[in-house]
Structure 1
Amino acid sequence: MTSPRNFLLIALLFIGYLLWMQWQEDYGKSPAVAGTSASTASTATPTAPPATVPSGADVPSASSGASPVPAPTTTAESASTRSGQHVIVDTDVLHVEIDTRGGNVVVADLLAYPLQPKDYQHPMRLLDGSDARFFQAQSGLVSAGGAAPDHQAPYTAEKYAYALADGSDTIEVPLTWNDASGVAVRKVFVFKRGSYVVEQRQEISNGSSAAWTGNAYRQLQRVPPVIDTSGIKGYSNIERYSFVGAAWYSPTDKFQKLKFDQFAKEPLDKPIADGWAAMLQHYFFAAWIPAQGEIDQYSTKTYVARAADGSVANRYLIRTQSPAINVAPGATYTDAARLYVGPKLQSTLDQIAPGLSLTVDYGMFTVIAEPLHWLLAQLHKLTGNWGFAIILLVLLIKALFFKLSETQYRSGAKMRKLQPRMQALKERYGDDRQKMNMAMMELYQKEKVNPLAGCLPMLVQIPVFFALYWVLLESVELRQAPFIGWIQNLTAPDPYYVLPVLNGLVMVATSMLTPSAGMDPTQAKMMKIMPVVFSVLFAFFPAGLVLYYTVNGGLGLLQQWIITRRIDAGEKAAAA
């Protein structure tokens, strides 16, 4: 895959692939996500903004077995006007702030992932309580006839700062809510050392004289992140190619996802057993994971939150809602779930919940990309450097396709030897394409050359090429990973453009060994300017991707040069 023709073909295929994905998103028929009942299947898209809180008036009794249906509301308040005191929790991997207004997780900083390389004073903030970057993990209770604290209810905290002490592996953060009727709720968050999973319990104590019936719900609500897509730099911004939106999973329906601009067109209202609900973005995500065995009512709808002055931006939510809960007078019931807020570490996510590793979305190349990611991770364990792991991975892929590449290069070398004779045929027949093609076929048959022999090996390798592209694009392990010397961030462009220039030189050298017979003048000019075009494009691509292309091209050039010399030597020996 090193000749300019091959690069051009790959570029065209890649552009076609991106266009196809966009066409599927805009015009392709999406799978139905409505519930199985007739009433759910016929539900129309609401004209008013859907509720941020499930309606207590629609909560059924515990014996009915049904789940409440979220009802629309007309207004919502901004974060600044709906905020209590913040309870701060610090572990070895997380800085979290919990708002006493609702008991929601409103801030989550990932301490091991700085915004800029090695700048750990400014970590990646995934959850954010500000209006401009609003992203919160909310939870609450609703009841048809009794008191219940939703995600806007005021809670009381025992203290407002927690830190994981040396020698301790767990922190428990309790919040309490009490009603005059005797119903009390204790919301407890449990943090563990080295973990991005936050366990949550909602303990319902019914001190009233009547049975309490209601439902627990948990939801993720956010505004879409702002991604720079302007200019050439925006075109090469890898964040724009990663999926951003909501996702959910169940053993029955498997992994499903929904972009923000599709919320109104494809509302989700469906009972799901043993699943989870998430909001995804490049490298990171948050997910609510209900207790296994529950039938959860997921309601994913467009949510536009507006204050009275209309100052709040568009928001979207995905909600998981428990079956009906019945708590007898004097009894206590605990509803539990887990919140994951952290990086897409593919090797550990399925240990947290089934299917959670699918949040690392490789699209249609998943079946090839997952083994490649595993192999890259093993090579990193061996080398301790992601750059060297990429180089070793290229070597292994080259070894795997060695025979195919050898066939391709041998065919190219033979075609190169025929160039003078092919040029003579072109001059003899001039514009008579039919006679020239017939003469060339006779020449191929006489010299036992198959002009298509160099195409099949390349076509076989193209799926691997695309799969590896997505592995390098989506792997959070490579985020800000240093290589050597001037390259201290494999996910950022080469600061001195050394790799793009080297890649251009490799392409120029390769083109000198590549047969150009049969090209028209326009094609010949394109082949000459392609190294320059690719060097400019690669100047804005992540260094890890350009490292792969450069090493792959360099090895291909070496292999092609050796094969060409062997063929030349063999012909000289035969002539002697």
Structure 2
Amino acid sequence: MLDWLYTAISWVMARWHSLWNLVFGDPPPESGLGGLTWVLAIVFLVVTIRVILFPLFVKQIKSQRAMQELQPEMAKLRKQYGSDRQGLSQAMMALQKERGVNPLAGCLPILPQIPVFLALFHVLRRLAPGKEGLYSWSDELTDEAAKAKLFGAPISSSFNMDGAKEQAILDIEGVTYTNIRIVAFVLIVIMCFTTYFTQKQIMKRSGPVEGQAAMVQKILLYVMPAGLFVSGFLFPIGVLLYWFTNNLWTLGQQFFILRKMPPPGSDAAKAKAAAEKPAIDPKTLAPKPGAKPVRPKGGRPATPPTTPPVGGSAPSADGGTGNGRPSGGKPGGSTAAGQSPPNRGKRKRR
């Protein structure tokens, strides 16, 4: 039923293997470089899948942040509806629909990776020296992949093996069960530790949570690595390499996202908001030309007063000298515009 998926995974691996063969000059299959081409094929299978899924990862981040912004309103709804679970559920669904938030978007990047992992596990589990061609591979390519080594351990071998496959792998020149188990155990430990740190980073990325969500996060933090440690003894070395590479990609991707989009309420988010806040230009605070400066409460005026000249008075806003006398007139008097002073008129008549 899933043959199409097994064929697609094996085809992608074969294409990457051919590319690395060209890079390294088509090395012999039994050489170290021959095994390296298959190791790099598995590594770049991860790269291919994760690049395709990157838009879903960005959508997951946006969905998580949108759900965090809705938490205060959802808390109000819980208080409002109390024990009415049906009404609370309908109100929450209406709120999420109004804001365009989909809670299931947080699972988008994880779901497509599950069938890819199962398909690779199926292909490598069936891989063995001398076996017929698997899916899109020829007999020769299948045998070459089965004998490809990582630090002396074939990628098709696992910590625990039995039956005809075990005998076929141990018949490969230079392969020992001890070497296989050392490489497999080291990869299992590394896989568990990277899974733990990946889950810690996911918790940091999603921000603070409460209630059942916090409990689920703690369970995944410890239960998932423990489950992988137990099941890792059955995984082929190629699958352990796939999982380890996938964890490294996730760690790097989330580190990038956390720097660019820190979780709301975190110290990094506050520091970023403060750095992006525009600085106030002092020139914008100065009064406009001709405007009266405003004296702030408990402080100095925005602009310093004009210093009066020696022996005189500073000009006032109405054109006077600032001492109650209008310029060009007697004390307390005024001169209408367009009229001559009376004294000047009498002098002209004389």
Q: Which has the higher strand share?
A: 1
- Larger Cα-atom Rg: 2
